[in-house]
Structure formats: C-alpha cells, structure tokens
Amino acid sequence: SQELEQSPQSLIVQEGKNLTINCTSSKTLYGLYWYKQKYGEGLIFLMMLQKGGEEKSHEKITAKLDEKKQQSSLHITASQPSHAGIYLCGAVVLYGNKLVFGAGTILRVKS
C-alpha cells in the first residue's frame, strides 16, 4: 500500500520567516494534493500537482512535485500568523479513485 511521510511533524517559526514542509511517497506519485486544516475543522484545498516538475503558487504558498524523488515540497514565504494550522498532503492512489494522506505537519507562527 502507498504511504506518505511528512516532515517535519511540527515546527514553530517566527513571523516573517520562510519554511518548507516535505511529503515523501513510498510509491510513484500520480497526483499530489495539499490541504490546510485548522484544529477541529475541515480541510481547505490549497493546490494539486500532477506532473513532475510542476510548481504552483497561491499567495505566499508554493508547492512543487519531484516525481523522481517521489516527493513534494510546500514552501511558505514570509510566514504570517494566518498560516498557522495543520498541513496535509494527499496522494492519488492509482486504482480505486481515492486518496491516501500523510500524518500532517503542525505549523505555529510566533508574532
């Protein structure tokens, strides 16, 4: 079965600093989703990557897919308190029309 490992598990950054979250798959990635979650709430879609080398940005958040490494990275530039939350990656499972998720990365931003 496909598994996703996210790193780090949690991090605390000073407001204004940059940060990167990684998501590594045990199998080939055919599509990779990034979601954000506030504690006790539902998931908010950030972006979806399909092709190797693809890079997408939304405001100050950029995600990239490295197919060879079976890895995706999420980069936040000039972090703000509004960026705090749990970031989850989800990979498309080739057969079954479903996603498998990583354990999540908890981000705290100190102001």
Partner 1 sequence: DGGITQSPKYLFRKEGQNVTLSCEQNLNHDAMYWYRQDPGQGLRLIYYSQIVNDFQKGDIAEGYSVSREKKESFPLTVTSAQKNPTAFYLCASSSPGLVNEQFFGPGTRLTVL
- Which residues of this protein are in contact with partner 1, per CB under 8 A? 1, 4, 6, 9, 30-31, 33, 35, 40-45, 48, 50, 88, 90, 92, 94, 96-104
Please identify, using beta-carbon distances, which residue of 77 and 86 lies nearer to partner 1.
86
In the complex, what is the shortest distance from the CB of residue 30 to partner 1, in angstroms, rounded to a whole number? 7
Please identify, using beta-carbon distances, which residue of 9 and 14 lies nearer to partner 1.
9
In the complex, what is the shortest distance from the CB of residue 22 to partner 1, in angstroms, rounded to a whole number? 15
Of 80, 98, 106, 107, the residue nearest 33 (C-alpha): 98
Of 46, 41, 108, the residue nearest 72 (C-alpha): 46
- Residues 6+ positions from 44 with CB-CB distance below 8 Å: 35, 36, 37
In the complex, what is the shortest distance from the CB of residue 18 to partner 1, in angstroms, rounded to a whole number? 24
106 touches 21 (CB < 8 A): no
